[in-house]
């Protein structure tokens, strides 16, 4: 079963944060022990800022991050564990014991990945999975070619992703070459997908995700098959979609 995604249009990046926050707050107010799938990257930062400003109690909310780099030292500011701690866990007042990020420091990544999927399932699955989209169509770090039935696992980063993310590092060669990411099937298991994009540089990826062929060559296109999707865009990210009926 799939339904048309609901598209919400914001005036700018901050406005996408306010609109997306409305979705998350509705879920958390209905269920103070909700489970959130957490994305990193720049797209959800206005959402996290809006959630922090809302003053809602997140102390019983659980979070599962989408992904984590391999090869960065513990505590590296660009590790997603640190990004989630500083952008999400602390500002929202979440319980650190309820916030999970794939652990890149163990010996057996495959076993940890299976445990991570099992932990999401044991928590009841994500009520809302927050997503950004890479310019190459990746969600989490599921690069083009990722199988739709993939679960959490180690993947090599695409060269384009390493270039896109080089802005977060002092030099491009510091960008890790591998990561742990939730799989497409893991992400698809969430009850509600909330995809956020702002800026004209995301317009083509948004167009392909929403209107292009559903293909493993463009992983974000999987959202077309999900029954409950909300997409929050600013004018730049929506600029190739033509006329939009919003609401
Ligand atoms: C990053 C993350 C993704 C994120 C995407 C887009 O590399 N692994 O989870 O959604 O790429 O990033 P941004 O929002 O900064 O454009």
Domain presence at residue 231: no
Domain presence at residue 238: no
Domain presence at residue 242: no
Domain range enclosing 58:
6-220
Domain presence at residue 228: no
Domain presence at residue 241: no
Domain presence at residue 237: no
User: By the 8 A CB rule, do 64 and 126 touch?
Assistant: yes
Total domain count for the chain? 1
pLDDT tens sequence across 118-139: 999 999 999 999 999 999 999 9
What's 31's DSSP letter? -
Q: When comparing pLDDT for 244 and 195, which is higher? A: 195
User: By the 8 A CB rule, do 106 and 112 touch?
Assistant: yes
pLDDT tens sequence across 85-105: 999 999 999 999 999 999 999
Rounded Cα–Cα distance for residues 179 and 143 (Å): 11
Pocket of ligand 1 (CB under 6 A): 39-43, 66-67, 132, 134, 140-141, 161, 165
Which residue has the least CA distance to atom 6 on ligand 1?
A: 134
pLDDT tens sequence across 230-241: 999 999 999 999
Domain presence at residue 246: no
- The pLDDT value recorded for residue 247 is 45
User: By the 8 A CB rule, do 228 and 163 touch?
Assistant: no
- Global pTM reads 0.96
The CATH number of the domain where 102 resides is what?
3.40.50.1360
Domain presence at residue 234: no
């Amino acid at each position: 079963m799939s339904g048309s995604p609901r598209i919400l249009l914001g005036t700018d990046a901050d406005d996408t944060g306010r609109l997306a926050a409305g979705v998350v707050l509705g879920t958390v107010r209905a269920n103070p022990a909700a489970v959130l799938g957490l994305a990193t990257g720049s797209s959800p930062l206005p959402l996290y800022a809006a959630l922090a400003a809302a003053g809602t109690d997140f102390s019983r909310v659980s979070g599962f991050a989408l992904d984590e780099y391999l090869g960065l030292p513990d505590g590296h500011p660009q590790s997603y564990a640190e990004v989630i701690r500083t952008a999400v866990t602390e500002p929202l007042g979440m319980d650190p014991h309820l916030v999970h990020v794939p652990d890149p420091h163990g010996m057996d990544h495959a076993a940890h990945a299976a445990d991570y999927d099992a932990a999401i399932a044991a928590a009841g699955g994500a009520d809302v999975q927050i997503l950004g989209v890479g310019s190459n169509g990746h969600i989490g770090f599921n690069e083009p070619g990722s199988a739709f039935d993939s679960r959490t696992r180690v993947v090599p980063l695409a060269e384009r992703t390493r270039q896109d993310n080089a802005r977060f590092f002092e030099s491009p060669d510091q960008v890790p070459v591998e990561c742990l990411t939730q799989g497409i099937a893991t992400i698809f298991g969430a009850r509600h997908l909330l995809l956020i994009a702002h800026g004209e540089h995301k317009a083509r990826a948004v167009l392909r995700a929403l209107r292009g062929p559903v293909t493993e060559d463009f992983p974000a296109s999987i959202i077309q098959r999900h029954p409950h999707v909300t997409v929050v865009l600013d004018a730049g990210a929506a600029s190739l979609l033509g006329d939009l009926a919003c609401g």
